[in-house]
């Protein structure tokens, strides 16, 4: 057992997090993560309405009596999202920990904290992490350049970003981006983090609610099989490399290109339906980090978590033996 300020603060057995993933963070996966002793987050906006989110929270609670949370990602959208109503559903459902991400979470942090809900904020830069600490969040998850999703525009890898954040913060830091193994957990702890966050590794789990083709593709891919998209539009995202991502990059590099030139290809609905649900691997964008190069099999959440912790403990012990 590896005990850290993170495990103490959030009441979980292991310093491992399954962060919010759109279309993936449902009760099937998150309850399994919780049962494995890690901290998982249902994804609020995967649910079409606040009422549906409340039902999903209740469904997850029937599957596990261990701690789990909800991710609330704040992003600009063409169709306004009723964030206050989603927030109310989270609070009224008795959720004790929330992961915020995206835009400035100040309004939401204040509301959650006043309701006694602990908040973890995801950041991609040290200055954003420092600002989140000033808002009163309980922990920060810092995303290195290796991560799936949006790593920001500064391209700072975790080996630098994690200790840089630890040096500036007084609250627990969760290392995110590129983690899938026990050696990664041991390394994160050595860098000063209190836990690791994994997304891609949990997508390649038996319980993840995605098509088997997605899981097998992650196992087959190596660390080179991701692609940066939307860089030309100041909104860089790391996705799995496929025909759609290649076409998006080609169109984006044309003189005068605007996001509307790739919007149809980049549709989140298209990716979730054609890829995650139906398994057509070249028919839409899907998120994957460079950690897929470290993933060798599809496994249960319990096997993933217990294996990572056991390997980390062995590594930590071996390193201790190196002392003269």
Q: What is the CATH number of the domain that holds 200?
A: 3.20.20.70
pLDDT of residue 80: 87
Residue 194 sits in the same domain as residue 303: yes
In a domain, 186, yes or no: yes
pLDDT of residue 272: 94
Average pLDDT (7-19) is: 98
pLDDT of residue 214: 98
Average pLDDT (51-57) is: 98
In a domain, 31, yes or no: yes
Residue 23 sits in the same domain as residue 104: yes
Residue 236 sits in the same domain as residue 121: no
In a domain, 247, yes or no: yes
Angle of helix 27-35 relative to helix 301-321, nearest 10 degrees, comes to 40
239-275, pLDDT tens digit by residue?
999 999 999 999 999 999 999 999 999 998 999 999 9
Residue 190 clears pLDDT 70, i.e. is over it: yes
Distance CA 60, CA 203 (A): 18
> What percent of the chain is predicted at pLDDT more than 90?
95
pLDDT of residue 76: 73
Average pLDDT (153-170) is: 97
pLDDT of residue 323: 83
Residue 44 clears pLDDT 80, i.e. is over it: yes
Residue 34 sits in the same domain as residue 61: yes
Residue 199 sits in the same domain as residue 254: no
pLDDT of residue 1: 87
In a domain, 12, yes or no: yes
Q: Give a three-class secondary structure readout of the chain.
A: CCCCHHHHHHCCCCCEEECCCCCCCCHHHHHHHHHCCCEEEEEHHHCCCHHHHHHHHHHHHHHCCCCCEEEEEECCCCCCCCHHHHHHHHHHCCCCEEEEEECCCHHHHHHHHHCCCEEEEEECCHHHHHHHHHHCCCEEEEECCCCCECCCCCCCCHHHHHHHHHHHCCCCEEEECCCCCHHHHHHHHHCCCCEEEECHHHHCECCCCCCHHHHHHHHHCCCCCEEEECHHHCCCEEEECCHHHHHHHHHHCCCCCCHHHCHHHHCHHHHHHHHHHCCCCCCCCCECCHHHHHCCCCECHHHHHHHHHHHHHHHHHHHHHCCC
pLDDT of residue 14: 98
Average pLDDT (46-58) is: 97
pTM score, whole prediction: 0.96
> What percent of the chain is predicted at pLDDT more than 70?
99
Residue 9 sits in the same domain as residue 40: yes
pLDDT of residue 183: 98
Average pLDDT (49-78) is: 94
Residue 19 sits in the same domain as residue 151: yes
Average pLDDT (12-16) is: 98
Range of the domain at 280: 226-287
In a domain, 219, yes or no: no
Residue 304 sits in the same domain as residue 282: no
- Number of structural domains (the chain) is 2
Residue 164 sits in the same domain as residue 36: yes
Supply the mean pLDDT for the chain: 96
In a domain, 220, yes or no: no
Average pLDDT (231-241) is: 95
Residue 31 sits in the same domain as residue 115: yes
pLDDT of residue 324: 67
Residue 293 clears pLDDT 80, i.e. is over it: yes
pLDDT of residue 237: 96
77-126, pLDDT tens digit by residue?
768 899 999 999 999 999 999 999 998 999 999 999 999 999 999 999 99
Average pLDDT (52-81) is: 93
């Amino acid at each position: 057992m590896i005990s850290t300020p993170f495990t103490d603060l959030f009441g979980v057995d292991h310093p491992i997090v399954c962060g919010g993933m759109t279309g993936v963070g449902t009760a099937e996966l998150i309850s399994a993560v919780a049962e494995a002793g890690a901290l998982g987050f249902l994804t609020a906006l995967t649910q079409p309405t606040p009422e549906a989110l409340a039902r999903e929270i209740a469904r997850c609670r029937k599957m596990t009596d261990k701690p789990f949370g909800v991710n609330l990602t704040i992003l600009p959208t063409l169709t306004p999202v009723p964030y206050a109503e989603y927030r109310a559903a989270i609070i009224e459902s008795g959720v004790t920990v929330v992961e915020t991400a995206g835009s400035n979470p100040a309004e939401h942090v204040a509301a959650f904290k006043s309701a006694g809900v602990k908040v973890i904020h995801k950041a991609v830069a040290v200055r954003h992490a420092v600002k989140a600490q000033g808002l009163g969040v309980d922990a920060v998850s810092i995303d290195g350049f290796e991560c799936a999703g949006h790593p920001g525009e500064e391209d700072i890898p975790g080996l630098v970003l994690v200790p840089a954040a630890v040096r500036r913060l007084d609250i627990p830091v969760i290392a995110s981006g590129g983690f899938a193994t026990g050696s990664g957990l041991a390394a994160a702890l050595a860098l000063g983090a209190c836990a690791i966050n994994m997304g891609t590794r949990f997508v390649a789990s038996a319980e993840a609610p995605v098509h088997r083709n997605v899981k097998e593709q992650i196992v087959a891919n190596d660390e080179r099989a991701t692609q940066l998209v939307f860089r030309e539009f100041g909104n860089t995202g790391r996705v799995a490399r496929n025909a759609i991502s290649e076409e998006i990059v080609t169109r984006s590099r044309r003189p005068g290109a605007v996001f509307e030139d790739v919007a149809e290809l980049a549709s989140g609905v298209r990716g979730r339906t054609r890829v995650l649900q139906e398994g057509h691997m070249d028919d839409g964008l899907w998120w994957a980090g460079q950690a897929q190069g470290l993933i060798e099999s599809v496994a249960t959440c319990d096997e993933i978590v217990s294996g990572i912790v056991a390997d980390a403990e062995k590594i930590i012990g071996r390193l201790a033996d190196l002392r003269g």
